Amino acid sequence: MRVLVYLERADARGGIEVFAERHAARLRAEGHEVDVADRLPSDFGGYDEIVIHKCSDVATLERFPAARTVLYVHDHEPICPRTYAYTPLKRNCTRVSGVWPCLFCAPVCRSWAAALCRVLSQARRKRAMARFKRIVVISKFMKGRLVENGIPADKIAVEPPVIRPAAPCSGEIPGVDLLYVGQLIRGKGVQQLLKAMARMATPRTLDVVGAGNMEPELKALAGRLGVAERVRWRGFQENPQDWMRAAKCVVVPSFWQEPYGLVAAEAVALGRPVVAFAVGGLPEACGGKATLVPAGDLDALARALERSGT
């Protein structure tokens, strides 16, 4: 079978692109001929199946042949014009998408014209999705959200991300107490983790593996909270699993509705204690093998961190 794997940016290296890369590799291992592209072919006739991993433009989405197309949904884009399902008031949104209230939320990260276009195109996006052969989501949580937003349940399959087998350790990692792995962006909740550390009765140290636009703000916050000497900023690391192996506890403080939570799943697979907020798909990713605390409850997070992995 010849398969086209479509991405908007095949040269990017975010979580969606990594997922698509692993998916393409798996299809090739099964004996299929696979092309990965970020542009539409002039003719879909040469492909038995088309797999979309990312397509934000609705007009482009509508051009795919419905009977042969499988759409993977990795985030909240099909049901949220902002893609985060997180409001400017710093609250998770569980509403069904529509002109109201999306029109008042979307402009926060886009111009009014772009926001209006996104909001008005949501109904078109849902119709295009409902035409496809199959829609694949990465958690039961995401399936529920799509069904709430009018996508037929019988079109949706749940396929959690493939957890890579643990690779041999690539180098010796210094002793790690608490560990955060991920982007340094607002929804990942590192700011909440720092605040929880300031509330701990028993001080512990934290290694932060990752980079992002909030790094300067987070370092300043650590200073104001008096925990800067207990936090080590490690930047991007090519082999974060090495750091997970060395950690006494892996913390996943995301407060946005993670569609799944790959870091949590990988840490659990490595046998490491995990502490996470019980939000979105994180409980599924942890598979009952983590300490979950109510989303946003910093005192509960502090107490869990005091106990975990000690």
Q: pLDDT, tens digit, for every residue of 169-220?
A: 666 787 899 999 999 998 899 999 999 999 999 889 999 999 999 999 999 9
Stretches where the chain sits below pLDDT 50 are none
pLDDT at residue number 277: 97
What is the pLDDT, as a whole number, of residue 168?
A: 65
Q: Say if CB 304 and CB 275 are below 8 A apart.
A: yes
What local confidence, expressed as pLDDT, does residue 177 receive? 95
pLDDT at 110: 63
pLDDT for the residue 170:
65
CA 306 – CA 297 distance, rounded (Å): 15
Token output for 264: 């949590």
Contacts of 260 (CB under 8 A, 6+ apart): 138, 139, 142, 160, 161, 280, 281, 282, 284, 285
- Res 169: pLDDT: 67
pLDDT at 166: 63
Q: Which domains does the chain have, with CATH numbers?
A: 2-158 (3.40.50), 176-307 (3.40.50.2000)
Identify which of 208, 151, 201 has the alpha carbon closest to the alpha carbon of residue 179. Answer: 208
